[in-house]
Structure 1
Amino acid sequence: MTGCHHHTHQTLTYNPLLGSWQLQSVKWISVARTVQIEQAQPGLFIFDESYYSLMWSPKQTPRTPFVNLSKPTDEEILDGFRSIVFNAGTYQISGQQINTTALVAKVPGFEDGQQHYNFYFENNQLILTMYDETYPDGSKPDWSGQWQTEFTLIRAQ
């Protein structure tokens, strides 16, 4: 009886983004000014080999809970919608850039939309800067070319 060993050679590329990252701060940066939340509300960015998921709040204060969790008012629903950002999908890395494509998104119709980021590491923090966004129809949001959003994240423990 003879054995046949079949070896495959794979080139493994190190991906420093893999894992879960907790949001520490967020900045909205334009040429004219910067708006910052120094101590961000809880947020989480997760990367595996092919997929990402991000959830964070653009508010400086904690989100307001519904008075009755199973029966929110229309006002509570609207406030809740405005107080959270999320999407998830696939991503690709090229050098220090990430391009994401949403499979699911908070905003209906953004599925297949793309977000474009630069990233680098500083003092064990991931600095992730969204510099552009493209809607599924190829158009851009009003802020495109005027604002960037910088997220400072630390690896979740």
Structure 2
Amino acid sequence: MNGTITLLVVIVCLGTAGDAGAQTQGDERAIRQAIDAMTAAFNKRDDAATGAVATSDADFVTVTGNWTKGTKAYTEARQKRFATALKNASIAPVDTHIQFLKPDVALAHVTHEIRGMLDESGRELPPHRELSSRIFLKTDGKWLMTAFHNTTVATAAAAPSIQGTWRLVETALRAPGGAWETRPAPQGGLFVFTARHYSYFYVRGSERRARFADANKPTPAEMAAAYESFIAGAGSYRFDGRTLMLQSDFRKNPNEMTGETWQWDTQMDGDTVRFVFVNPPFLPGREWRLTVVRIE
């Protein structure tokens, strides 16, 4: 008899545990569906879909520290961001952890990656990750989010990039350890860096090149004066944030197409970069400096 009672108790307990597990799985699935709905609502700019999975008095704290009370106030504030920094932004889920604090209260930590954000100048920022803490309440059998706090996930600082287009604004020359003799670049020049390759041209000297007397029939002296100061090159490069290594595929001067790698020391200050070439083959025993500013 006692054995029968014990067996019945075990069966009842196992059955109860199984029902609780199934209920928890169903609750977790419902919360994940609500999180997915919020992600889709962000990407589709669908405020109504956001409101459908949150309580009307939900608290929202954004990565910028903006705290709004209520879904309506939050979506109105977010629409302003959709017109500026988040204009082209989209998010993709990376990881989700859910913890039940009570049968009707759950805490979710959601990591997503955001792409397409713009800075104040309208330039697209690199993708990054954000981590949000979200509290869900089960009300009338439905899980709704009642608190949301977002933060940016810190990443290791990456080496600065020189990708883009840069305009030459100044050249300078000096003996090692001496003072720089600076010269403006009235005719400028462009340096273009892609992910792996570069191309550049500029006019050396502070004087503008004289026009040909006859554009269709320049004299040998006119051509020599015009083309002698013209500098150009292209190839591949490596950049670690401090040193720029140029491997040329082409240079205007055929004597410089030796296959050697040219090393430039760099100093970056926002959108201004100074390249310094110590003892270049075209100026032995000197240091040559180029100052460029980003235009794209």
- The bucket for the TM-score relative to the shorter chain is 0.7 to 0.9
What corresponds to 1:153 in structure 2? 292
What corresponds to 1:81 in structure 2? 227
- Alignment RMSD (CA, Å): 2.2
Structure 1 residue 70, shift from structure 2 partner: 2.7
What corresponds to 1:53 in structure 2? 199
Q: Compare CA radii of gyration and give the structure with the larger one.
A: 2
What corresponds to 1:10 in structure 2? none
Instruction: Give yes or no for contact 1:55–1:86 (8 Å, CA) kept in 2.
Output: yes
Larger relative contact order, structure 1 or 2 (CA cutoff 8 Å, min sep 6): 1
Corresponding letter in the other structure for 2:292? L
Gaps of 5+ in 2: 1-157
- Equivalent residue of 2:255, what SS? coil
Change (3 A) 1:89 1:142: closer
What corresponds to 2:188 in structure 1? 42
Corresponding letter in the other structure for 1:20? T
Instruction: Give yes or no for contact 1:23–1:40 (8 Å, CA) kept in 2.
Output: no
Q: Normalising by structure 2, what TM-score?
A: 0.42
Structure 1 residue 119, shift from structure 2 partner: 1.0
Instruction: Give yes or no for contact 1:26–1:40 (8 Å, CA) kept in 2.
Output: no
Change (3 A) 1:70 1:108: farther
Distance 1:67 1:115 in 2: 38
Structure 1 residue 66, shift from structure 2 partner: 1.9
Change (3 A) 1:148 1:16: same
Aligned residues: 137
Structure 1 residue 67, shift from structure 2 partner: 2.2
What corresponds to 2:268 in structure 1? 121
More helix by share: 2
Structure 1 residue 109, shift from structure 2 partner: 3.2
Gaps of 5+ in 1: 1-12, 134-140
Q: Normalising by structure 1, what TM-score?
A: 0.76
Percent of pairs with identical residues: 19
